[in-house]
Amino acid sequence: MKVLFHTSGGDGAAWLDALSRALPEATLVTWSGLPIPRLDYALLWRPPPALLSSLSDVKAIFNLGAGVDALVTLPERPRNVPLIRLEDAGMARQMAEYVAHAVLRRYREFDAYALLQKEAVWQPRARLPIREFEVGILGVGMLGAAVAETLSGFGFPLRGWSRTQKALSEVRMFEGSSGLGAFLAKTRLLVCLLPLTPDTRGLLDRAALSELPRGAYVVNVSRGALIVDEDLLALIEAGHLSGAMLDVFHDEPLPASHAFWHHPRITVTPHISAVTQIVDSVTQIATKIRRLEAGEPVSGVVDDTLLY
């Protein structure tokens, strides 16, 4: 069995070491720019189009991350080959930690207390009852479900929105375009966890964000292109939104000149809400390859009909 590995990141040696341990029966190869004959599987992160177009005969392509938007939009991707994404692989817990921090930081007003500390002001603030602080999770897939489970433990009332009808314990669910407005209307803190597709790109524009109640707060941990930056900034400046905590952006790294860096009511982190764990990811990939070799089904196969 011959497995191609390629990543545009700087952690290739760590991936290859983990893969050689988890898949000792495989011959691991890397791409040098020339075609590689008789490949069985390809494990990729942000591959060049020339590499992608040469993979029409492999049994499956594994994306080395949960988000597949950068890969599925490339016209060179062979549509006859199953594309398999990472599921969890240590990311769900990280995402739940990040979002819980963002929600608690906002609910307990730690930013306001930080400003008071700078002025040496001792001033306890009246706290909103937790039953009135509704958290809305936009996208309730694997990561959204993990976030909901964690937040429910603190007692926050939860709202969820998905493209199609879903049921999630402790979450009041809304679905489809007809349910988006009602979902947003009472969401005091919005957590963005949708994948990036043509339907979700720019979904959170001025019109959608304006449906949030006055003083709402936005947390984006999925893809920067879900939000129209100028509209978010305008609504914060106008006082309709109280602020945002952003981990993902249209352009990454976020340009130093971008207004998000310097806005007093926006917190920026460098796409660290859920970092891919190499060993966990490789273990998952090895298990799926062995299932495919045995003729058994695997989960995580990307459904192209949901992306276009």
Tracing tokens 């998905």 back to the chain, one arrives at 162
* Contact (Cβ atoms closer than 8 angstroms) between residue 72 and residue 304: yes
* Contact (Cβ atoms closer than 8 angstroms) between residue 161 and residue 180: yes
* Contact (Cβ atoms closer than 8 angstroms) between residue 158 and residue 135: yes
Cite the active site residues. Answer: 223, 271
d(CA 150, CA 198): 30
Number of Cβ within a 10 Å radius of residue 247: 22
Burial class (CB in 10 A: 0-12, 13-18, 19+), 303: exposed
Dihedrals φ, ψ of 61, to 5°? Answer: -110, 125
- The distance in angstroms from the start CA to the end CA of the chain is 33
Q: Which amino acid is at 226?
A: L
Question: How many helices (H) and strands (E) in the chain?
Answer: 11, 12
For residue 13, CA distances in Å to 39, 281, 282 come to: 20, 15, 13
DSSP 227: B
Sheet holding 171-175, edge to edge: 171-175, 158-162, 135-138, 189-192, 216-220, 241-246, 266-268
Dihedrals φ, ψ of 96, to 5°? Answer: -60, -40
d(CA 208, CA 149): 26
Tracing tokens 């299932």 back to the chain, one arrives at 291
